[in-house]
Structure 1
Amino acid sequence: MLALSSEFKNIRTQIKYVNREYKDQYHLIYPDPNNIWTREYSNNKSYSSENITLDVGNILPFDILNTKHRMSLAVSYSDTKRDYNNANDSETKEYSHVLYNGKLITPNNLPASDFNVPLTARISWDFTPNFLAGLNISNFLVYKPTFQGLTKSSSIAKPYTHINNLPVIYSYNDTSIPSVVRWDMRASYTHQISQNIHAIWGLTINNVTNRHNKYLDTDYYLKSEIGRQFIADITFKF
């Protein structure tokens, strides 16, 4: 890992690089199709990951229209390469083949999927009115562009129904994973009840625009993120 930080006037900047090398990874070797109940394992697999993050923001709040503002921008880039899929002991008991882009293959010949979103941008913006110091409003925006991923379906087209007396259960396809744009917001007001007791009223709104965002889960299915969600809370500090 290598990280560099700097402060210039009222701007702080940090860039961080992380490189990871994973070796001797646990892996299930699929058996001979004629002897599907025999399972062998090895630890001869590996993968690598590179991550770069740039984070820029202000150190002290700046005043605009009688309001104190704090802002930051973070951009992350990830590149993960892996030459194997996760071991699944139950697969050899359920099926020996799957469909990949319409072709019949064994599961260990599926391309490795790392569920890696190559690029993510995050913006946070907090502001507090000078005339109401107890009020704070936070905004958090996330953007993830479209990327290619591997998705799974349990809908199998004929004539691929059974191979080696086992059913062909799953179909895998290279899929364009849609972009994600999400805006979360939180407003809180802190009131001092006594010298050592504070009450905080909060309202959180997740996915303010109610956009239908999707993500690729580790089970290879596309799933939906939460829609618009309201959470009200009261906190006491003493």
Structure 2
Amino acid sequence: MRIVIIEDETVVARRLERLTRRILGPRVERIDAAANIPDATRLLGRAQDAIVLLDLNLSGSDGFDILRRAAAEPFQTIVVSANTDRAIEAFELGVVDFVPKPFTEERLGRALERVARHGGADGRTPSFLAVTLAGRVDLVPVESVIAIHGADDYSEIETSNGRRHLHKKTLTMLEHVLPDNFQRVHRSHIVNLLFAEHMGIEDGGRRVLHLSNGIMVPVSRTYAREVMERGNLS
């Protein structure tokens, strides 16, 4: 497990590293730290599947610049900040927890264990999914997402306007932070049940879910009953 600490106060950064090693123990493979946005950007460019501990005030620079990038990458981000007035804004970008400063070992431990064990958010759901396009980060409103499809180590987000966006987080990572109206229907597909119309059975007995944009998504037997009940489908 790789940890990236983005914190401009040396004392706080060292405490975060010390407590993280104590909390996670041998699960920690490596911890890197950055104190400013350029160094953080370089670190994140080389990191894969890391847990990011992010301060929102980096020597006067706005940590949300980093957060928007992290939201589009295969990272899970925990904000550790005194800027509690921006917690809602942070959760809208899909952070898994917001640990207010000053923090205790117990509070940091709850956040780290939640991500390490489940990858899940702290009861909050994002309003946007961040995607990269030509080096720019775009925010896709979650309410516009009809379905999300597995694409190797990435995900393909399909929206109500017919566009598709490649997301660097896997289906499993996204599944943990999406609102309750999103349902895994197949190992390669998640759908927004608000766009579900009815369940059909094709020749050979294959179940498919018909969505309001006209597409059909396969439904595995494992999820069929739950999809029918949660989607109020016939």
TM-score band, normalised by the shorter chain? under 0.3
The structure with the largest strand share of the pair is 1
Q: Which has the higher contact order (CA 8 A, sep 6+)?
A: 1
The structure whose residues are more often helix, as a share, is: 2
What is the TM-score when the length of structure 2 is the normalising length? 0.20
